[in-house]
Amino acid sequence: MILKYLKYLFQSGNEHSIHSPFVFEFYMNVIKDQTPFYAFNQIEKLRAELLATREKIEVLDLGAGMKQGSGSRHSIKKIAQSSSVNAKFGQLLFRMVNFSEIETILEIGTSLGVSTAYMASPDKKAKMITMEGSPEKVRIAQKNFEQLDLPNIEVIEGSFDDQLPTVLKNYPKLDFVFIDGNHRKDPTIKYFDLIANNCHNDTIVVLDDIHWSDEMDDAWNQIIKRSDVTVSLDLFYFGIIFFKKELTKQNFTLRF
């Protein structure tokens, strides 16, 4: 990871390397924006509470890439440390949702619900669907959503492979998608292929940990070569996909 990150730092550019007006606007007004939106303090206060709790829960991992282990009891503190999106990237998720006209959001991989809260907060009229395979994580996440007064969130519990086809049938038009549920090549590509059928010209898809392993490198490189993907942004930890047909196909590696 250190070598990959050093390579990213060497290759990444900033606003001066962007020649696409749309990407320039997105980079300056969304990625680099530092506006302290109202919801940030509430969500970070919740994170602090999660990091302070000593409660342990049974963790069921139906995918891969779970850094704190699977199949036994783990502290909520450790789960919050290892599986919850950090403040920098959580606030980027908020800004991306806030940037566009979003009605339906899909998240694959709820964990304790920190990233979910960031995406559900910009507009409580938007429908937020989040999927999680571990029942105890679902229980904690739902408590967190109640605490943050986010009634627009629907939690789907169960295996992604089992539940995703039904979710996509029920929600045929997706405006924003965050894939953070399985850090392996084949499942990541499979989920993206399924989700792409429900995406439209203005949909934004975000993939987490795109350089977490060689498998994820391969998955990212395969996805950005798709004919329906016009623009991709590599922020090292996040990969952002656009389907805008009016844009020239380009792949950007940008500093964040």
pLDDT tens digits for 168-221?
999 999 999 999 988 899 999 999 999 999 999 999 999 999 999 999 999 999
pLDDT per residue as tens digits for the range 101-132: 999 999 999 999 999 999 999 999 999 999 99
d(CA 107, CA 94): 13
DSSP of 213-242: SHHHHHHHHHHHTSTT--EEEE-SSEEEEE
| pTM of the predicted protein model | 0.94
Cα diameter, the chain:
51
Least Cα distance to 129 among 198, 77, 210, 214 occurs for: 198
Average pLDDT over residues 67-77: 71
Q: What does CATH list as the number for 2-34+85-253?
A: 3.40.50.150
- From the number of C-beta atoms within 10 Å of its C-beta (0-12, 13-18, 19+), residue 88 rates as exposed
Q: Taking the domains of the chain in order of start, what are their residue ranges?
A: 2-34+85-253
Q: CA end-to-end span of the chain, whole Å?
A: 17
Count the Cβ atoms, other than its own, within 10 Å of residue 101: 8
Q: Which residues of 142-175 are buried (b: 16+ CB within 10 A; e: fewer)?
A: bebbeebebeebebbbeebeebbeebbeebeebb
The tokens describing 169, both together, are: 């049938």
Pairing type for strands 153-157 and 238-242 reads: unpaired
Cβ(96)–Cβ(30) below 8 Å: yes
pLDDT per residue as tens digits for the range 75-92: 999 999 998 999 999 999
pLDDT per residue as tens digits for the range 145-161: 999 999 999 999 999 99
